[in-house]
Chain A
Amino acid sequence: MTVAGSPAVTTNVGRPFLGGRRFSLDWVGAVPYLAYVGLFLILPSVIIGIGALLDANNAFTLDNFRNLSRSYVVKATIDTTVLSAITAFLGAVFGALLAYAIVTGSPNGILRRLTISASGVLAQFGGVTLAFAFIASIGPAGFVYLFAQAHGFDFYKQDLWLFEIPGLDLVYLYFQIPLMVLVFLPALDGIKPQWREAAESLGGNTWHYWRHVAGPLLFPAFLGSVLLLFANAFSAYATANALINQGQPVLAQQIAGALSSEVGAYEPGFAKAIAIEMIIIVTLVTVLYTLLQRRTARWL
């Protein structure tokens, strides 16, 4: 925190209101920010870290972590992982196709600007409104369903899957695809048309070009984006909770469940242990993503 020797201070032209200025008090200016972040970001993190190791009487225990092996938590972890993997993979594939359709158009075209702006909005368009949008369209009273039903295609004949995990698979794509467009577009923009010409002048056809040039170059970026989308879906809560209020199938809902006494017991220590489980998975995936991003940056 000693900043007396920093260049900004020695070249400071302000009035010397502190006389000598050898022992600068400049750092005081950063205190409000650091105090605020310390109180509302760092302290909660510390509370989670310590609280996970305490029982109801504030004595040390590892039970909270042992309880992670409870069957419903294991099931929620697996279900959330599968859900995140499916929506990450499908979102990445569809998003990449959309991104490719964008880059092959005019670089300053209205279609490109419109799609990118819309993606910026839709990637953040989650939560309650998103759940409502799907209930209003393909829900049991939505016009798409009513239309399909009237034409002999009753897609809820077996069960009302919109309000179960398969529903989340579909609904999550609504923010996963735009997010993919945003993160994958820079990589696609980095592909130079000269590479394709080079491949063709050497006698390669389209398949050769994708298999040996563009494919290997884009693969790290694609894989990295899948990981980012995975982390995005894994930590999502609001959409799932607004759509599904039976059984808490998603891990984030299990955290919320352990915090509230409405469903089951109030187990704050256990909630913290699940929170740590979630943050470990998300951090792991994010670190892998960063490594892949670096590898992508080498070429694109």
Chain B
Amino acid sequence: MAVAARSIQRTRWIKLQVFRYVVFLLAAIFFLVPLGAMVEFSTRANDGSRTLDYWKAIPSYPDLTGAIAASLQLAVITSIVMLVLLVPTMVWVRLKLPRLTRIIEFMSLLPLTIPAIVLVVGLFPMYIWLNNNLSDSILTLSLAYVVLVLPYCYRAIDAGLGAIDVKTLTEAARSLGASWFTVMWRVIVPNISNAILNATLLSVALVLGEYTIANNLLYNNLQVELVHLARDNAGVSIAVAVAALLFAFALLVVLAFVGGRPRRVHDEPATALAGPLAASQT
């Protein structure tokens, strides 16, 4: 009896392992082939041999290099505005305005439920006004991008602040005569540096991949330009897409290693990544 039970267990275990490795193999094929194909496509010459011509041609498209520069600037501006807006507010709310916690959380997470294409419709008249009265620079896009990255950055910073005792640290610093600026800059920020890095990298990755808002507000950021260029020269376009992807991947590796421990994003996947988040990207 015991032997029979064990052999049933054994058969089941083998079946399970076969099932698991078939699933992993199929998943690996489905997810890796398209990525590899981009590298292959961007290095294939017309006669089928390998070439780096597409990669070398990148600098010879001024519209493209301009769009790359614009997207990088947008990423930097968006991250800075986001941090300046979010970190002091969240610290202040924790210390002085606990009643506002729910409101701030709700407002910060709200963009997850609003598809980017819907947000664009509301922003459209605002940007017409902005173009006519203040500036028609592509960098004004960062005003909208801050809203786009808000939910992800809110969660990252909230996790960071939750892990330290903000109140005690602040009271200690204040009782020693520190100004509020000193408290923020020399006490809070160094203690949540991981969370700040996390939030910054997330917002950089999101901004570099953003297409919906820029395209419909008629700005040529990196992704919009890639689509334009793909109609003339798909090879160069895909080469730049690969480069952008590798850059984003490098950021994520930095994220995983600088922290030194598994990030919250992965600890709470259901809440961290739920919601129609792809609205911003897809």
Expressed in whole angstroms, the minimum distance between the Cβ of B10 and any Cβ of chain A is 15
A32, A105, A125, A144: which contacts B85 (Cβ < 8 A)? A32
Contact B117 A255 (CB under 8 A): yes
Q: CA separation between A118 and B269, bound complex, in Å?
A: 12
The number of residue pairs between A and B whose CB atoms lie closer than 8 Å in the complex comes to 292
Contact B281 A127 (CB under 8 A): yes
Q: CA separation between A136 and B42, bound complex, in Å?
A: 9
Q: CA separation between A133 and B33, bound complex, in Å?
A: 9
Contacts A132-B237, A135-B234, A182-B269 given; does A125 touch B274 at CB 8 Å: no
**Neighbouring B residues of A268 by C-beta, 8 Å:** 121, 124-125
Contacts A129-B209, A228-B274 given; does A41 touch B41 at CB 8 Å: no
Expressed in whole angstroms, the minimum distance between the Cβ of B119 and any Cβ of chain A is 6
- Cβ of B187 < 8 Å from any Cβ of A? no
Contact B115 A30 (CB under 8 A): no
A33, A45, A51, A104: which contacts B125 (Cβ < 8 A)? A51
Cβ contacts B244-258/A at 8 Å (1 or 0 each): 110001001000100
Contact B20 A136 (CB under 8 A): no
Q: CA separation between A234 and B23, bound complex, in Å?
A: 27
Contact B282 A282 (CB under 8 A): no
Expressed in whole angstroms, the minimum distance between the Cβ of B159 and any Cβ of chain A is 15
Q: CA separation between A3 and B175, bound complex, in Å?
A: 23
Contacts A142-B37, A228-B274 given; does A111 touch B245 at CB 8 Å: no
- Cβ of A278 < 8 Å from any Cβ of B? yes
- Cβ of B146 < 8 Å from any Cβ of A? yes
Expressed in whole angstroms, the minimum distance between the Cβ of B70 and any Cβ of chain A is 15
Contact B121 A123 (CB under 8 A): no
Q: Chain A: which residue is nearest B96 at the CB level?
A: A26
- Cβ of A126 < 8 Å from any Cβ of B? yes
- Cβ of B66 < 8 Å from any Cβ of A? no
Contact A136 B282 (CB under 8 A): no
Contact A6 B98 (CB under 8 A): yes
Q: Chain B: which residue is nearest A25 at the CB level?
A: B96
Contact A127 B115 (CB under 8 A): no
B126, B216, B256, B281: which contacts A43 (Cβ < 8 A)? B126
State which size class the interface on A falls in: 35 or more
Contacts A29-B96, A132-B241, A185-B269 given; does A255 touch B121 at CB 8 Å: yes
Contact B98 A231 (CB under 8 A): no
**Neighbouring A residues of B265 by C-beta, 8 Å:** 120
Expressed in whole angstroms, the minimum distance between the Cβ of B97 and any Cβ of chain A is 6
- Cβ of B92 < 8 Å from any Cβ of A? yes
Q: Chain A: which residue is nearest B15 at the CB level?
A: A206
State which size class the interface on B falls in: 35 or more
Q: CA separation between A222 and B58, bound complex, in Å?
A: 45
Contact A127 B96 (CB under 8 A): no
Contact B118 A279 (CB under 8 A): yes
Q: For chain B residues 15-44, which have a beta carbon within 8 Å of chain A?
A: 16, 19-20, 23-24, 27, 30-31, 33-38, 40-42, 44
Main SS class of interface, B: helix
Contact B24 A101 (CB under 8 A): yes
Q: CA separation between A239 and B234, bound complex, in Å?
A: 16
Cβ contacts A185-207/B at 8 Å (1 or 0 each): 11000000000000000000010
- Cβ of B69 < 8 Å from any Cβ of A? no
Cβ contacts A232-269/B at 8 Å (1 or 0 each): 11111111011000000000100110011000000010
- Cβ of A226 < 8 Å from any Cβ of B? no
Contact A40 B223 (CB under 8 A): no
Contact B122 A48 (CB under 8 A): yes
**Neighbouring B residues of A286 by C-beta, 8 Å:** 113, 275-276
Q: CA separation between A279 and B212, bound complex, in Å?
A: 16
- Cβ of A121 < 8 Å from any Cβ of B? yes
Expressed in whole angstroms, the minimum distance between the Cβ of A155 and any Cβ of chain B is 15
Q: CA separation between A177 and B265, bound complex, in Å?
A: 18
Contact A98 B27 (CB under 8 A): yes
Cβ contacts A134-145/B at 8 Å (1 or 0 each): 111110011110
Segment at the B interface, from A12-20, A68-76, A212-220: A12-20
Q: CA separation between A141 and B35, bound complex, in Å?
A: 15
Expressed in whole angstroms, the minimum distance between the Cβ of B271 and any Cβ of chain A is 9
Expressed in whole angstroms, the minimum distance between the Cβ of A260 and any Cβ of chain B is 7
A30, A138, A175: which contacts B89 (Cβ < 8 A)? A30
Supply 4 further A-B pairs (C-beta < 8 A) apart from A30-B89, A41-B107, A115-B24. A48-B122, A185-B270, A228-B274, A275-B118
12 contacts between A and B (CB under 8 A): A13-B175, A15-B174, A117-B256, A121-B249, A123-B278, A129-B209, A136-B38, A175-B278, A175-B282, A182-B270, A279-B114, A282-B115
